[in-house]
Amino acid sequence: MWLNQGKWQVNPLNFSDEVRRDYEARPEIFMLDSTIRNMTAIPGSRWDVSGAVAMATLAAEIGVRIIEIDVVHGTQPPTPQVMEMFRKIRDVPRQRMKVFGSAWARKDSVDQVLDAGADGVIIEPDPVAVFRELAAYARSRGALVATTLGGRIEHMAPPEAAARLDRIVDLELAYVSIHENTNATVPEAWRYYLRTLLRLLVKPIDLVPHLHNNFGLGTAAAVAAVTGGAAGIDAAMNGLGIHAGLAALDEVVVALEILYGVRTGIDLSRLTEYSRLAAEVSGIPVHPYKPMVGDYAFVAELDPFVRSVLEMRGHGHERVHPIAPSLVGNRWTPFWGVNTLAESSATALKLAQLRLPHDEASVALARRELSEAIKAKTEGSLALAEHEVETILTRMTFKNIPGTGA
């Protein structure tokens, strides 16, 4: 599990019995994608209908099982733009993906969601008599039904949560969202909460944590919840959302697949593509050093690291550190800065790959030329991207240097 030649290499301790003895993870979970739902609500987003439809299409293609869309949100009724988007997403080729819409605890609201083309409806569980009636009505229309815990886990101990869910577990719900909007629960507590709650229920049910990222622990909490028995995880591409965003879908699925051996059904190789589409549609950029999908997530700027990237590329392979970038649809981005130019091997190898003189004197000249180019930079980082290095090296003159043959 810890070694997949050419793709990843992680600590074998991750898969030892000593570490995993308290896990109750399922071999496969599903991803509930809230990217579109959050994109339509967060300040600064410039989304449009065609972009949202493109995102739903790609989500279906990469293996997302459920998309949630807020038709209603709190006391806010749906906007014409949201309803137009919902109706157009109805025609997206779904594969296995289901689209759920939120509804108020009213028959007309449930009808509005289902008439717009939803596969399922999300209804709050209280009052329970109303919920049971509406759930039966939605099922009579051939729809799936989901709900929430009706409160946040930081305010509800597992026995109380189990008592609430036991009132409705007979309804064959598609899933129950377990909300915690402040990231105030440590990952270890998430594992404990899910494991304890599932043991207390009178009947099994699929629990799907909805996790925010206020403390930067969204991904850690999500994977901990999975090791406690969660059936799925509610996440958003690029972590889009209020309260510092949701757990990032891209980070969660890669961590689960590679560090925990849990299948997610997601095509990892298209994660960077999905990330860039979400940024384009929402107008909210991705941090360049964001794990997995950032432009500089796989940056190299140190002589042995850059040399390793170039060597592996020359043999038709990728440097694995700890994963190969192509696994998530990304790539290595070598830079020449003071750390790369402190030694000679990366520059010598780059000259050789460009079919330029690469003896000791030529390499020394190239290093001086690149160092001067860095000093002359007035904007950006004090380093040269690979394409800048190639431009400088191919324009250099290596004549009259002993041993170059030039």
| Adjacency order of strands within the sheet including 299-300 | 299-300, 333-336, 384-385
Query: Whole-model pTM?
Result: 0.93
State whether 141 and 230 are in the same domain: yes
Cβ contact 240:37 at 8 Å = no
167 and 311 both lie in a single domain: no
Among 282, 311, 327, the domain-final residue is 282
- Sorting pLDDT into bands at 50, 70 and 90, what band is 406? very low
Residue 400 belongs to some domain of the structure:
no
Strand ranges (DSSP E) for 236-332?
Answer: 299-300
Q: Is 289 contained in some domain?
A: no
237 neighbors 274 (Cβ within 8 angstroms) = yes
Residue 328 Rama label (left phi>0; alpha psi -120 to 50; beta):
alpha
Coil, helix or strand at residue 222: helix
98-141 residue pLDDT tens: 999 999 999 999 999 999 999 999 999 999 999 999 999 999 99
Mean of pLDDT values over 274-283: 97
* pLDDT tens sequence across 206-246: 999 999 999 999 999 999 999 999 999 999 999 999 889 99
Looking at the 3D structure of the chain, how many domains does it have? Answer: 2
Q: Is the pLDDT of residue 56 over 50?
A: yes
Residue-number span of the structural domain to which 347 is assigned: 299-395
Same domain membership, residue 334 and residue 201: no
3-state SS class at 140: helix
d(Cα 338, Cα 374) in Å, to the nearest integer?
Answer: 9
Say whether both 267 and 306 belong to one domain: no
Cβ neighbours for 276, distance < 8 A, ≥ 6 positions apart: 286, 293
State what percent of residues in the chain have pLDDT above 70: 98
Report yes or no on 171 lying in a domain: yes
pLDDT score, position 199:
97
| DSSP state for residue 218 in the 8-state scheme | H
| Helix axis angle, 49-62 to 271-282, nearest 10° | 170
| CB atoms near residue 9 (< 10 Å) | 16
CA of 91: how far to CAs of 85, 86, 96, in Å? 10, 9, 14
- Identify whether residues 105 and 41 lie together within a single domain: yes
Give me the CATH number covering residue 218: 3.20.20.70
